[in-house]
């Protein structure tokens, strides 16, 4: 129940302040040109307990392209979920890997269905073996009709900034993924709206691990404050993927999900 309530609280709008030079770095290359190397990561996936996650893959190239989409649980192990072909409404059963070919200008849509009473969270990766220029969107939907969309992350970084707002009933959360095959130590530094230090923290993420939490739950000193969080790792070889999420108002019960808008990745440096 606590995990379910946590994700409902992670309901949606990332607050990103992005200078022009950072904007250039954050262009998603699979949306603009061919990308044939490097994982493309969805830092958060949720299914069940009122939640569905739909993943759309679009062929932006000039020839048919193949894809391999992998779903992982919080521990980094393959996570089978009840998928449906959203276009044909065909049930595909419990799947942790989805493969296929997309025609030129075509799209495939996979919906992780809301069947279980509890929520399963994790992350997704478009495998490097996927060819050509494939665009991808992830759509989160809650049973009361709220919906949010995010692109797959192509930029793993060792530095992520997040502006957080835990004031006036709002609550900010974060989803983090360590896509590496080795453990990664994550350092976080919090500052108030004037840039003055609030607190620091350090935690370790196991290989392929996914985690999501409300900032004020993990770091109680951030309650009722507005400020910034800087997440860092020790080297480029320890790069992580991240998503910042704002719920407004903060959610405490299953039936009261806040209104959702578009999700954005955190500001990487």
Q: What is the pLDDT of residues 57-88, one digit of tens each?
A: 999 989 999 999 999 999 999 999 999 999 99
Instruction: State the pLDDT at residue 74.
Output: 96
Residue 89 phi, psi dihedral angles, 5° rounding: 60, 25
Q: How confident is the model at residue 156 (pLDDT cuts 50, 70, 90)?
A: low
Beta bridge partners of residue 203, listed in sequence order: 186
Q: What is the pLDDT of residue 196?
A: 97
pLDDT, tens only, 98-119: 999 999 999 999 999 999 888 8
CATH topology (fold) of 2-21+155-268: Hypothetical Protein Tm1070; Chain: A (2.60.290)
What Cα–Cα distance (Å) separates residue 71 from each residue in 44, 49, 178, 210, 238? Answer: 10, 18, 14, 11, 21
Which tokens in the block code for residue 38? 């490097």
Q: Where do the domains of the chain lie? A: 2-21+155-268, 29-151
**Which CATH number among 3.40.50, 1.20.1630, 2.60.40, 1.10.8 corresponds to the domain 29-151?**
2.60.40
């Amino acid at each position: 129940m606590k995990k379910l309530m946590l994700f409902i609280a992670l309901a949606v709008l990332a607050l990103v302040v992005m200078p022009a030079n950072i904007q250039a770095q954050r262009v998603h290359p699979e949306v603009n040109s061919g990308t044939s190397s490097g994982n493309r990561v969805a830092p958060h996936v949720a299914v069940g307990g009122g939640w569905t996650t739909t993943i759309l893959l679009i062929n932006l190239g000039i020839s048919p392209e193949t894809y391999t989409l992998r779903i992982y649980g919080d521990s980094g192990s393959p996570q089978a979920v009840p998928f449906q072909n959203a276009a044909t409404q065909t049930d595909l059963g419990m799947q942790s890997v989805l493969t296929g070919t997309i025609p030129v200008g075509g799209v495939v849509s996979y919906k992780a269905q809301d069947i279980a009473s509890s929520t399963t969270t994790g992350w997704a990766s478009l495998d490097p073996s996927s060819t050509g220029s494939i665009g991808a969107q992830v759509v989160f939907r809650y049973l009361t009709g709220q919906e949010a969309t995010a692109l797959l992350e192509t930029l793993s970084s060792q530095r992520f900034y997040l502006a957080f707002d835990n004031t006036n009933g709002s609550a900010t959360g974060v989803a983090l993924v360590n896509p590496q095959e080795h453990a990664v130590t994550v350092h976080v530094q919090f500052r108030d709206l004037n840039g003055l230090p609030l607190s620091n923290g350090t935690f370790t993420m196991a290989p392929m691990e996914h985690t999501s939490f409300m900032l004020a739950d993990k770091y109680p000193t951030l309650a009722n404050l507005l400020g910034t969080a800087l997440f860092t790792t020790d080297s480029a070889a320890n790069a992580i993927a991240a998503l910042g999420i704002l719920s407004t108002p903060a959610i405490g019960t299953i039936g009261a999900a806040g209104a959702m808008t578009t999700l954005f990745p955190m500001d990487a440096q």
